[in-house]
Homo-oligomer: A and B are copies of this chain.
């Protein structure tokens, strides 16, 4: 068997963060994170990567069973076989979102095996993963790198995580693994269907969740890959989005996840009149700016506004007899209806957001799984994100320079992941569809609390009080000249909102201690999340 001598995990000895520097966006960021040297953000397209992609260890078929049966009795046996020890990195994926069961199973098994100082590297965490807080307090998990939605973000913001949180976009996560920035010792893949060889798929089985694309990098680049399934099928598992040729062990469990919980509250159309107005403005803008034409493409997330936008746009497309070439998921029933009604040739889908999406991706060959490699990886030979004509995204804050925040609130609390948001900014027309305030706090601000997306990539901000077009996009300004759309300077909308809400939001009460960083799509450090005052 191939023996690889691994250096000791740098975070076991190094500081969580060290050495602050100002980056090209004027943000102060650590130059050493969890013991690893970092490159500060150098501007959009400013950083030229060097060197070679990570090469995982060469294996030999002589060391794997000839009959292809890689099953082991349970997760502990698989972790033992993978040589689990202190300071390793364990990765997991979030296709089950708040219904995931496997990440906790694995981390808790590791705890029982007595290891310490692990780095947990999920593609995202959800409230269901709150018990990881206890594992951090026990020293089993040193820190996590990945989106921290809810409780783990709160925990991190308060400065209670031993290491530094690192937030990456979906594409940035692929880039980090591919480039060798994050070395995964053990990847764990929760698979709704798998065969004993490890071929796996997400579109079939009692726990079907759709695509398994977020686990692709893990399967390709990790030293050891463990597939966990509740639906073992005879070889070959077809389709096989994850190739068994990358897999070391297969574990069969009762249930890998609850697919009903992949549906979050945000996959229902908004009922708020203000938000419906925003959605309508977005749809009309796309039509009137000339983006909605035969063969066009768009992407919209799963938020209430985005869904309403799709419904509006669909009507406009039908009125004008316009058909899209492709639409990008996260898929929902609204996108599936476009496909079924012949309003798009394809759905290119990175993650299924509801069960209609799961059903469609498992049965319709025009509903195609895409992955962070194809869609989002900035360190590839291009990716799909820049070929999408328009994308509709949300934000927690947008400032007068069109910079946007999607991870923290104005009080400084880290409560959301980046997802594909940063990657989508490269679209032909990036539209942030946001209410002008939430809970009486303005969303339009002077300077975003945490920079997640540089303003030069944000083209349009649509609120219920008007549409602000980035002055850099003279073409868009010209395209809607003379339309009845309420186009206004962003500063005007901001001033109106502040007048109504009694002024700008209070500045966040934070200390000078970094608790997490925001990576840009190229692996450089874009901004820092600071500990909130106790």
Selected interface stretch from A7-15, A48-56, A304-312, A491-499 = A48-56
Hey, which chain B residues are within 8 Å of A244, CB to CB? 374, 381-382
Q: Are A379 and B60 in contact (CB under 8 A)?
A: yes
Q: Mark A193-214, 1 if CB is under 8 A from B, else 0.
A: 0000110000000000000000
Q: Which chain B residue has the least Cβ–Cβ distance from A247?
A: B381
Check if A234 sits within 8 Å of B325, measured CB to CB: yes
Which one, B197, B326, B377, contacts A387 given CB within 8 A?
B197
A83, CB-defined interface residue at 8 Å: no
Nearest CB of chain B from residue A439's CB, rounded to whole Å: 37
Q: Mark A241-253, 1 if CB is under 8 A from B, else 0.
A: 0011111100000
Copies assembled: 2
- Please give, as numbers and ranges, the residues of chain B lying within 8 Å of A387 by CB-CB distance: 66-68, 197, 235
Residue A365, interface by CB 8 Å: yes
Contacts of A243 in B (CB 8 A): 373-374
Q: In the complex the two chains form, is B346's CB within 8 Å of A2's CB?
A: no
User: Which residues of A (385-436) have their CB < 8 Å from a CB of B?
Assistant: 386-387, 426, 428
| Cβ-defined contact, B53 with A52, below 8 A | no
Name the contact of A248 in the complex, choosing from B178, B248, B381 (C-beta under 8 A). B381
Chain B residue nearest to A385 (CB atoms) is B61
A383 interfacial contact with B, CB 8 Å: yes
Q: Size of chain A's interface in residues, with CB distance under 8 A?
A: 66
Partner of A2, one of B49, B54, B325: B49
Judge whether A52 and B61 touch: CB under 8 Å.
no
Interfacial residues of chain A within 350-373, with CB under 8 A of chain B in the complex = 365-366, 368, 373
Q: Given A56-B52, A366-B238 in contact, is the A67-B386 Cβ separation under 8 Å?
A: yes
Question: Is A50 a contact partner of B54 (Cβ separation < 8 A)?
Answer: no
Q: Whole-angstrom distance between the alpha carbons of A48 and B58 in the complex?
A: 9
The one of B47, B61, B236, B326 that contacts A386, using a Cβ cutoff of 8 Å: B61
B348 touches A236 (CB 8 A): yes
A219 CB, nearest partner CB in chain B, Å: 10
Do A57 and B52 form a contact, CB below 8 Å, given A346-B238, A382-B64, A386-B66? yes
Asked whether any CB of chain B lies closer than 8 Å to the CB of A179, the reply is yes
With CB as the reference atom, state the residue of chain B lying closest to A224: B381
- Beta-carbon contact of B246 and A380 below 8 Å: yes
**A487, B244: Cα distance in complex, Å:** 38
Which one, B64, B236, B381, contacts A381 given CB within 8 A? Answer: B64
Cα distance A393–B326 in the bound complex, in angstroms = 45
| A120 touches B (CB below 8 Å) | no
Which residues of chain B are near A67, meaning CB under 8 Å?
386-387, 428
Nearest-neighbour CB distance to chain B for A303, whole angstroms, equals: 25
How many Å lie between the Cα of A60 and that of B522 in the bound state?
Answer: 8
Within 8 A of B (CB), among A60-77: 60-62, 64-68, 70
Contact call A61/B245, Cβ cutoff below 8 A: no
A440 part of interface (Cβ distance < 8 Å): no
Knowing A49-B58, A379-B58, A380-B245, the reply to whether A68 touches B522 (Cβ < 8 A) is no
Is B61 within 8 A of A48, CB to CB?
A: no
Are B386's CB and A68's CB within 8 A? yes
Query: A59 interface residue, CB < 8 Å from B?
Result: yes
Q: Does A384 contact B (CB under 8 A)?
A: yes
Q: In the complex, are the beta carbons of A58 and B51 less than 8 A apart? A: yes
Does A378 belong to the interface (CB within 8 Å)? yes
Whether B54 contacts A55 by the Cβ 8 Å rule is: yes
Name which of A61, A236, A368 has the most chain B CB atoms within 10 A of its CB. A61
Decide if A273 is an interface residue (CB 8 Å cutoff). Answer: no
Does A114 lie at the interface of the complex (its beta carbon under 8 Å from any beta carbon of B)? no
Encoded as 1 (CB less than 8 Å from any B CB) or 0, chain A from 7 to 34 comes to: 0000000000000000000000000000
Chain A 290-325 against B: per-residue CB contact (8 Å), 1 yes, 0 no? 000001000000000000000000000000000001
Closest to A68 in B: B387
Q: Closest B-chain residue to A522, C-beta based? A: B60
Residue A342 at the chain B interface, CB threshold 8 Å: no
Name which residue of chain B comes closest to A46, CB basis. Answer: B62
Residue A502 lies at the interface, judged by CB distance under 8 Å to chain B:
no
Docked Cα-Cα span, A55 to B49, in Å, equals 14
Q: Are B245 and A68 in contact (CB under 8 A)?
A: no
Chain B residues whose CB sits within 8 angstroms of the CB of A65 once the complex forms: 382
Pairs of residues from A and B, 8 with the lowest C-beta to C-beta distance, nearest first = A52-B55, A64-B382, A53-B55, A45-B62, A245-B380, A66-B386, A68-B387, A55-B55
Given contact pairs A54-B55, A236-B346, A239-B368, a sample of 16 additional A-B residue pairs in the complex whose CB atoms are under 8 Å apart: A2-B49, A45-B60, A48-B60, A50-B58, A52-B55, A52-B56, A53-B58, A58-B178, A58-B179, A60-B522, A61-B377, A66-B387, A66-B426, A225-B381, A235-B326, A245-B381
Q: Can you offer 5 A-B residue contacts whose CB atoms are under 8 A?
A: A66-B426, A238-B366, A239-B368, A246-B381, A365-B365
